[in-house]
Amino acid sequence: MSDWPLWEVFVRGKRGLNHTHAGSLHAPDAQMALRNARDLYTRRGEGVSIWVVPAAAITASSPDERDSFFDPAGDKVYRHPTFYDVPEDVEYL
Amino acid sequence: MYGNDFSTEPSEPLNAAETGGVEQAMAHEDRRAQLLSEAEVADRQEQFDALIAADQRIEPRDWMPEAYRKTLVRQIAQHAHSEIIGMQPEGNWITRAPSLRRKAILIAKVQDEAGHGLYLYSAAETLGAGRDELLDALHSGKQKYSTIFNYPTLTWADVGAIGWLVDGAAIMNQVPLCRCSYGPYARAMIRVCKEESFHQRQGFEILWALSRGTSEQKAMAQDAANRWWWPALMMFGPPDAESSHSEQSMAWGIKRFSNDELRQRFVDMTVPQAQKLGLTLPDPDLRYDEESAHWRFGEIDWSEFKRVLSGDGPCNAQRIAHRRKAHEDGAWVREAASAYAAKQAKRTAQAREEAVA
């Protein structure tokens, strides 16, 4: 089984929600991965739709570079609405 | 930012969904669809109607009526176009922002507009529309964007007025879209709306500063409000009686409130804010109606709206020319990215071969 590829499983909890990562599993092909994912991750009706993606197809950011990778957003506090000085008694701002 | 004010009467194919591009992209889906018997189509239509009736979301792999798909592609594409064209009027002031703080904020805002365009183009792609076809439709004028962006930004105060009035109107339009019946569009709008609130507040803050400044600064803020007020009201689109596609969009759960309803809400929200800023809105008929608890406003000049929509606004030609040039000037960047990816792929393959050997 260890030579079967690893699949990452994404489950949509209900209509209108994003697919979110649920976990992973091994399977020899995509169809079997899908069926196994159903049995493994949605035994109690946790989902209405499943995606399986070969883990090898995922490119991830590196934990070592986490700080420098996300750093550019760190000092841009003005991207948040709370940064602005507006009078408190103005409604709907 | 976004209005509901683009053309809704297509006389020619408006987008990929109408030119055959979608059919191509969706070939495998279509082949399945073509195999459906009439009874099966009726069955799926029933399921679709039941989902809509139960206020459930439609997701990309669900069967949907072709007209629903086309309407969404058109609306989402024109919304996306509005976001990226909307970068221009504000981008015009980045190099002339009055302080480093204001410049950093304005850059962040224009970046957000680009991001909003990208969320929306990718939502349109879930319906089978191709990114390149959508951009072509924008560049050739087959698809529109909000008419509001065909007005110029003459002074720094216009950046404030856009944030306060134009983004304020856009939020009013966009919040109900977070509950739109098409899942990917609704989810894109949730992201967009979260980010818009900084846009509106920074605009108000600019005008708040100017309106407490020198008499010249106050006059500049007033002048901007004078020029942007009526176009902002037009962002909600034609009056309900003349809004041809509204009824069907409401029935499909794409639209939740009528143009006139949203416009009235915007006026009710904005008039007290203008009072706080000490600005006069350029409407002699504006008055509070105690009985209905609404602010009543004067007649909108729809002939101006139609003129700008049809291409005869102050900046229509400039906006499209600039957009086309940016796209053409960016060609080498796209080519370089592809060349780099190809080179990396080749090196990886070589390294693998060497490792095997």
pLDDT at B114: 96
Nearest-CA distance B85 → chain A (Å): 21
Orientation angle between helical segments B259-277 and B183-211, nearest 10 degrees: 30
Q: Among A81-85, B113-117, B199-203, where is mean pLDDT lowest?
A: A81-85
CB B197 within 8 A of CB B205: no
Mutation site, B111, B178, B204, interface A, largest A CB count within 10 A: B204
| HEC letters along B316-335 | HHHHHHHHHHHHHHCHHHHH
Task: List the Cα angle B242/B83/B186 in 5-degree steps.
Answer: 75
Q: In the predicted model, is pLDDT for residue B357 greater than 90?
A: no
B104 contact residues in A (CB cutoff 8 A): 76, 78
The stretch A54-66 carries a mean pLDDT of: 89
Interchain contact, A86 vs B59, CB within 8 Å: no
A78 contact residues in B (CB cutoff 8 A): 101, 104-105, 108, 198, 202
Residue A16: which of B57, B101, B198 has the nearest Cβ?
B57
Q: In the predicted model, is pLDDT for residue A88 greater than 80?
A: yes
pLDDT at B256: 94
Tokens of B250: 């409401």
B59 contact residues in A (CB cutoff 8 A): 12, 15, 49
Residue A24: beta bridge partners?
A8
The stretch B51-66 carries a mean pLDDT of: 95
Task: List the Cα angle B296/B297/B299 in 5-degree steps.
Answer: 135
- Number of C-beta neighbours around residue A83 at 10 A: 15
pLDDT at B232: 98
pLDDT at B24: 52
Q: Among A11-15, A62-66, B182-186, B281-285, where is mean pLDDT lowest?
A: A62-66
Portion of chain B with pLDDT greater than 90, in percent: 86
Nearest-CA distance A82 → chain B (Å): 8
pLDDT at B22: 47
B204 contact residues in A (CB cutoff 8 A): 84, 86, 90, 93
A86 contact residues in B (CB cutoff 8 A): 201, 204-205, 208
Interchain contact, A84 vs B187, CB within 8 Å: no
User: Residue A55 to residues A10, A35, B27, B40: CA-CA distances in angstroms?
Assistant: 12, 17, 28, 37
pLDDT tier at A65, thresholds 50, 70, 90: confident
Residues B211-265: pLDDT tens digits?
Answer: 999 999 999 999 999 999 999 999 999 999 888 778 899 999 999 999 999 999 9
Nearest-CA distance A14 → chain B (Å): 9
Q: Which domains does chain A have, with CATH numbers?
A: 6-79 (3.10.20.520)
Q: In the predicted model, is pLDDT for residue B89 greater than 50?
A: yes
What phi, psi does A10 have (nearest 5°)?
-120, 130
Tokens of A13: 């909890």
Amino acid letter, B192: V
Closest by CA to A38, choosing from A54, A28, A25, is A25
Exposed, middle or buried, B109 (CB in 10 Å: 0-12/13-18/19+)?
buried
Helix extents (H) in A4-90: 30-41, 66-70
Q: Among A87-91, B148-152, B230-234, where is mean pLDDT lowest?
A: A87-91
Q: In the predicted model, is pLDDT for residue B148 greater than 80?
A: yes
Is ipTM beyond 0.85? no
Mutation site, A19, A80, A93, interface B, largest B CB count within 10 A: A93
